[in-house]
Amino acid sequence: MSAAMDPVTLMKQMVGYAAADRVQSNSVVGLGTGSTTAFAIEGIGKRLQSGELVNVKGVPTSFQAIVLARQFGIPLIGLDEADHIAVAIDGADEVDPQKNLIKGGGAAHTQEKIVDCLADLFIVVVDSSKIVQKLGSTFLLPVEVLPMAVVPVMRQIEKLGGKPVLRMGAKKAGPVVTDNGNLVIDVKYEAIEDPLALEKTLNNIPGVLENGIFAGVTDVVLIGEIVDGKPIVREM
C-alpha cells in the first residue's frame, strides 16, 4: 500500500488485491474492466511473478484488460481455448441487496457479461459508494447499440419509460465507440423495480447488443470501505 494514495484508491486497491487472493493455481480467470479490477489484475500478476501462483491464464473482457494483463505478465487466451473459467473478477457501477448489478461505466459490459456469466465463481469488486437499495438510483443504465439502430432504439426506450442519451467521448470528438465498434446509450430510470425483466426487455429491442443490468449472476461481492479511518474489505 502506498502512503500517498487517496482513500478511495486505497479501497479499490485493497478490494482488488483481496479478489486476486482468491485465484488458484492451474486455473483460467476472467479479467474484468475498470479501475478497481485493474488492481485485481495487478494482484494476480504479482502473485504469478512471486511464484505463489502458477499456470494461470486470463480471458480479457476489454482492450483495457488485455493491456493490463500484458503489463502484469498474465498469459491470455480466448474463449475458444477456455473450456472452463474458474473465477471472473469484475467491477460494477451499482450493486443492489440481491447482488444485481449495473455495469458498463467503461462501455465494456457486453464482453464482460459473456465472460462473467461463464465463470464458476463471479466475484464483484467495488467500493462502498456503489451499494444502492435500488438499481438506477445513482447511475444511468448503459445499453450498447449497433450504430445504424441508435435513433430507433432511443425512441423505443423512451416509449418504455426511460430517458436515453447518447454517450459522448471525453478528449475525443463525437460519441464513444465501444471495443466492438458500437455506440452506447445511457438511460435514466427513476428506479429499476424488476432488474431481470428490464434486462430482458431491453435486449429484445432490435439493434441492442447488450445492456448493463447483470441480474442474478453475481456470486460474491467484495466491498472496500473506510471504517474508523482505516480501509477494510468486507463480503456482502
Catalytic residues: 112
Number of neighbouring beta carbons within 10 Å of residue 17: 20
The sign of the CA dihedral 62, 65, 70, 75 is: negative
Interface of this chain with ligand 5RP, residues 70 to 99, rule: CB under 6 A: 90-93
Q: Using the rule CB under 6 A, which residue among 45, 105, 162, 224 binds ligand 5RP?
A: 105
Element (H, E) at 86: strand 85-90
Q: For residue 49, give the amino acid letter.
A: Q
Instruction: Kindly state whether residue 182 participates in binding ligand 5RP, applying the rule CB under 6 A.
Output: no
Instruction: Kindly state whether residue 164 participates in binding ligand 5RP, applying the rule CB under 6 A.
Output: no
Residue 143, CA atoms < 13 Å, CB-side half-sphere:
32
Nearer to ligand 5RP, 150 or 179 (CB): 179
CB of 203 to ligand 5RP, least distance (A): 16
Nearer to ligand 5RP, 143 or 159 (CB): 143
Residues 38, 42: Cα–Cα separation, whole Å: 6
Contacts of 88 by beta carbon, 8 Å cutoff, 6+ apart = 29, 30, 31, 32, 59, 115, 116, 118, 119, 121, 122, 123
Nearer to ligand 5RP, 25 or 138 (CB): 138
Instruction: Kindly state whether residue 186 participates in binding ligand 5RP, applying the rule CB under 6 A.
Output: no
Instruction: Kindly state whether residue 109 participates in binding ligand 5RP, applying the rule CB under 6 A.
Output: yes
Cell readout for 156 is: 423505443
Instruction: Kindly state whether residue 13 participates in binding ligand 5RP, applying the rule CB under 6 A.
Output: no
CB of 165 to ligand 5RP, least distance (A): 17
Instruction: Kindly state whether residue 113 participates in binding ligand 5RP, applying the rule CB under 6 A.
Output: no
Q: Using the rule CB under 6 A, which residue among 23, 28, 29, 33 binds ligand 5RP?
A: 33
Q: For residue 131, give the amino acid letter.
A: I
Q: Which residues bind ligand 5RP (CB under 6 A)?
A: 32-37, 90-93, 103-109, 112
